[in-house]
Amino acid sequence: MSAAIDYNNAPSAVRAVFDDIKKTRNVPDVNNFWKYLARDPELLKRTWESVKEVMRPGALDPLTKEMLYVAVSVTNGCQYCIASHTAAARKAGMTEAMFGELMAVVGMANETNRLANGYRVPVDAAFEQ
Amino acid sequence: MSAAIDYNNAPSAVRAVFDDIKKTRNVPDVNNFWKYLARDPELLKRTWESVKEVMRPGALDPLTKEMLYVAVSVTNGCQYCIASHTAAARKAGMTEAMFGELMAVVGMANETNRLANGYRVPVDAAFEQ
Amino acid sequence: MSAAIDYNNAPSAVRAVFDDIKKTRNVPDVNNFWKYLARDPELLKRTWESVKEVMRPGALDPLTKEMLYVAVSVTNGCQYCIASHTAAARKAGMTEAMFGELMAVVGMANETNRLANGYRVPVDAAFEQ
Amino acid sequence: MSAAIDYNNAPSAVRAVFDDIKKTRNVPDVNNFWKYLARDPELLKRTWESVKEVMRPGALDPLTKEMLYVAVSVTNGCQYCIASHTAAARKAGMTEAMFGELMAVVGMANETNRLANGYRVPVDAAFEQ
Amino acid sequence: MSAAIDYNNAPSAVRAVFDDIKKTRNVPDVNNFWKYLARDPELLKRTWESVKEVMRPGALDPLTKEMLYVAVSVTNGCQYCIASHTAAARKAGMTEAMFGELMAVVGMANETNRLANGYRVPVDAAFEQ
Amino acid sequence: MSAAIDYNNAPSAVRAVFDDIKKTRNVPDVNNFWKYLARDPELLKRTWESVKEVMRPGALDPLTKEMLYVAVSVTNGCQYCIASHTAAARKAGMTEAMFGELMAVVGMANETNRLANGYRVPVDAAFEQ
């Protein structure tokens, strides 16, 4: 079993997804994530279509969405995802100052999440739905 | 040991922090999180001063910062923090459409973080620092 | 299926574990955790024997061990475990000042863990094994 | 302090555990996990005996158990555990198609876990115990 | 803003998804998760279609898939998801003995994940892809 | 953008923090964590001042605090933090026997956290605040 599927040895269903990724993102090749998921063409297709739908501009702009992606990936400690989505956020316009503030918020949120857990703080009535 | 400290039975060091929170946020009372942290006045003071510094407008606007806070809290499953920061994000202008997209990104990021883990995807050379 | 097993309707293998917990901890009844695990007597027995071995005084004293347990439980956001092990730590001598410092360390560690992740800090040669 | 303990320089209590692992699993040597845990012979022995008891065939077959182990390890992002238990699952009969579906379920569960958190969905009465 | 959308006050796009869930699962009503997601019809539709595709019988049977879902949800501590997928697993045939073994594996995996982290165990060459 | 800031090319605000770290810890150079955070001088300063305040001797001694830091870092799977705080704990007096017991408690807590989650154990009245 080869771990990654390259375009040249990919079945046509995989090539179709790769082509759509390259066209949508205007890149010469897909990154490793997609080459590994290509081992399961159905998973590849569903994941790409979901990511494409979720990450397109809407009520939130692409930069905000990429920074949210980084916030989750940093919280989970996913090294691949931190690297790829930090790169994507920079490409979408994240400056070094923005990155610093993003990290500061993510760090502080992870701290206060645990303070709320440890002090067993009950939800204020004003915050109930 | 009482679990929460109210303004009326708080020592002056705690009152000073409570006053600053109320003034900075323009609210009539502090929320439960601060009343519980007040059991340790030094922790209360340091946490508030850090939060105030981190959450003030800078390269990122307050709404973006609150949505990042929600993304982390949802990923960690901190119920208090989800409730309080979702309320704060709405107060800062988050619409229902923005909330839906925020949730969609957080959900997708948590999914693809695990796909990257499970397929053991190596970081692309292009993403290395 | 009843969710919890009380002493009176427990099979003898479960009663033997319950008796050992009560004797070891000098308590009149076991707490809910053990009553739920009793649905699987083998799991109950193995878990109790492991916990008893791990938590007995050794190179670390019981209070330190209970505070470590709280640190993990707060990080994971396990509400039952936070409640039960905070109570156990207080019983083992944790003062309110110790609790405040424990929370402060747990909060700070959760913050700097994410800063290290996000800044992708390489391990110093001096820290390699 | 050497980080790993090899059979040749292991005390007899460690050798006894190593021998039982090799015999139970029919392998010529133990994998690194056990060589590192051997630094604490009591921890080594208890962990191996628990793993042996938990992973033996019962109401669930060994392949299902290994896939559950992979699901947890991927969710936690434990690189060593992902590598070792994916190998064990393949040895127990996991095909590439099964692996793809395992990853798909793990990814989806991590996504919907966060959607349930973020939308603060109350448990249906029908799901209460 | 109402937190949950019931069939009677749902727009037609939401009703179509609800109808498909009820038909596919042969249930009289959808559970709360879908009623909350219905606040964002696009998210509802994409999530349901992904879940339906992922959870249908394939190389893995529905019971195995539901137990994997429980393993992830328990690891993440998502209370709603633990309740709903444990119920689904029981409906798919999970016995009390199976549940006990599932919990035992999930518990052990969460333990050994941390032992591998803490002892900083390097991946064996035999486990490399 | 260079990823790490060395003393020689650091602005004076960063040098002041580096000097305080070196003096407080009596070390010839700061470790990589601080060199990376130095990309955001305000984050560097606030993080160092918080860490200095939190980790100084108080109701808990420095060794206990470092072991708590390790417990959190191992639970989160932060490789950098595990390496740096294990080294710090050893410097503060952690013996190999203490390390073994620390790991045993962390492993057990991560296991029983999930058993409590999966069995959905309600908090005993005696543990309520």
Q: Specify the pTM.
A: 0.98
What average pLDDT is seen over chain C? Answer: 96
Is the confidence at residue E19, as pLDDT, over 50?
yes
Chain A residue nearest residue F37, CA to CA: A100
Is the confidence at residue C120, as pLDDT, over 90?
yes
- A107 and C106 within 8 Å at the Cβ level: the answer is no
Rounded Cα distance, E68 and E62, in Å: 10
Write down which chains contact chain E via at least 3 CB pairs under 8 A.
Answer: A, B, C, D, F
Four-residue CA torsion sign, D80, D81, D86, D89: positive
Q: What is the mean pLDDT of residues A51-66?
A: 98
Q: Which fold has domain D58-121?
A: AhpD-like (1.20.1290)
- B107 and D103 within 8 Å at the Cβ level: the answer is no
- Taking the alpha carbons at both ends of chain E, their separation in whole angstroms is 50
Query: Tell me: the pLDDT tens digits for C70-119?
Result: 999 999 999 999 999 999 999 999 999 999 999 999 999 999 999 999 99
Is the confidence at residue B2, as pLDDT, over 80?
no
CATH homologous superfamily for D1-56?
A: AhpD-like (1.20.1290.10)
Q: Are C81 and F116 in contact (CB under 8 A)?
A: yes
CA distance F16 to chain A (A): 19
- In the block, tokens 């857990």 appear at A117
Q: How confident is the model at residue F129 (pLDDT cuts 50, 70, 90)?
A: low
In which residue ranges of chain D is pLDDT below 50? 1
Is the confidence at residue B65, as pLDDT, over 70?
yes
A16 burial class (0-12, 13-18, 19+ CB within 10 angstroms)? middle
User: What's the CATH class of domain E58-120?
Assistant: mainly alpha
Query: Tell me: the pLDDT tens digits for B110-124?
Result: 999 999 999 999 999
Q: Where are the beta strands (DSSP E) in B18-103?
A: none
Residue D84, Cα to own-chain centre: how many angstroms?
8
Among the partner-chain residues A39, A76, A78, the one whose CB lies closest to the CB of D96 is A39
A113 inside 8 A of chain D by CB: no
* Residue C97: count of CB within 10 angstroms of its CB: 13
Query: Tell me: the pLDDT tens digits for F71-95?
Result: 999 999 999 999 999 999 999 999 9
User: What's the pLDDT at B128?
Assistant: 83
Half-sphere exposure of B40 (CA within 13 A, CB side): 24
F46 inside 8 A of chain B by CB: yes
Q: What whole-number percentage of chain B has pLDDT above 90?
A: 96
The CATH number given to B58-118 is 1.20.1290.10
User: What's the pLDDT at D1?
Assistant: 47
More confident residue, B40 or B2: B40
Q: What is the mean pLDDT of residues E87-96?
A: 98
Query: Tell me: the pLDDT tens digits for C45-71?
Result: 999 999 999 999 999 999 999 999 999
Chain D residue nearest residue A72, CA to CA: D114
Q: Any residues with CB less than 8 A from the CB of D101 and at least 6 apart, and which? A: E54, E58, E59, E60, E65
Which residue ranges make up each domain of chain C? 1-56, 60-122
Q: What is the mean pLDDT of residues C121-128?
A: 94
Is the confidence at residue C28, as pLDDT, over 70?
yes
User: What's the pLDDT at B73?
Assistant: 98
User: What's the pLDDT at B111?
Assistant: 98
Rounded Cα distance, A1 and A39, in Å: 9
Q: What is the mean pLDDT of residues C30-52?
A: 98
- Using alpha carbons, select from A96, B104, B80 the residue that is nearest to residue F3: A96
Query: Tell me: the pLDDT tens digits for A14-51?
Result: 999 999 999 999 999 999 999 999 999 999 999 999 99
Is the confidence at residue F27, as pLDDT, over 80?
yes
Is the confidence at residue E129, as pLDDT, over 90?
no
The DSSP element (H or E) to which B8 belongs, if any, is none
F31 burial class (0-12, 13-18, 19+ CB within 10 angstroms)? buried
Tokens read off for B8? 């009326």
Query: Tell me: the pLDDT tens digits for B22-59?
Result: 999 999 999 999 999 999 999 999 999 999 999 999 99
Q: Where are the beta strands (DSSP E) in chain E?
A: none
Query: Tell me: the pLDDT tens digits for B15-26?
Result: 999 999 999 999
Is the confidence at residue E1, as pLDDT, over 60?
no
Q: What whole-number percentage of chain A has pLDDT above 90?
A: 96
- In the block, tokens 């609790």 appear at C99
Q: How confident is the model at residue C1 (pLDDT cuts 50, 70, 90)?
A: very low
Q: Which fold has domain F59-119?
A: AhpD-like (1.20.1290)
CB pairs under 8 A between E and F: 62
CB pairs under 8 A between C and F: 195
User: What's the pLDDT at D128?
Assistant: 83
Q: What is the mean pLDDT of residues F122-128?
A: 94
A82 inside 8 A of chain C by CB: yes
Residues in chain E: 129
Q: Are C102 and C67 in contact (CB under 8 A)?
A: yes
Q: What is the mean pLDDT of residues A67-90?
A: 98
SS3 C94: coil
Residues C112, C113, C116, C117, Cα dihedral to 10°: -140
- D113 and B77 within 8 Å at the Cβ level: the answer is yes
ipTM of this complex: 0.97
The one-letter amino acid code at D109 reads: A
CATH homologous superfamily for C60-122?
A: AhpD-like (1.20.1290.10)
F123 inside 8 A of chain B by CB: no
Q: What is the mean pLDDT of residues E49-77?
A: 98
A104 inside 8 A of chain F by CB: yes
- A103 and F40 within 8 Å at the Cβ level: the answer is yes
Q: How confident is the model at residue E2 (pLDDT cuts 50, 70, 90)?
A: low
Equal fold, F1-56 vs F59-119: yes
Q: What is the mean pLDDT of residues E105-125?
A: 98
What average pLDDT is seen over chain A? Answer: 96
F117 inside 8 A of chain C by CB: yes
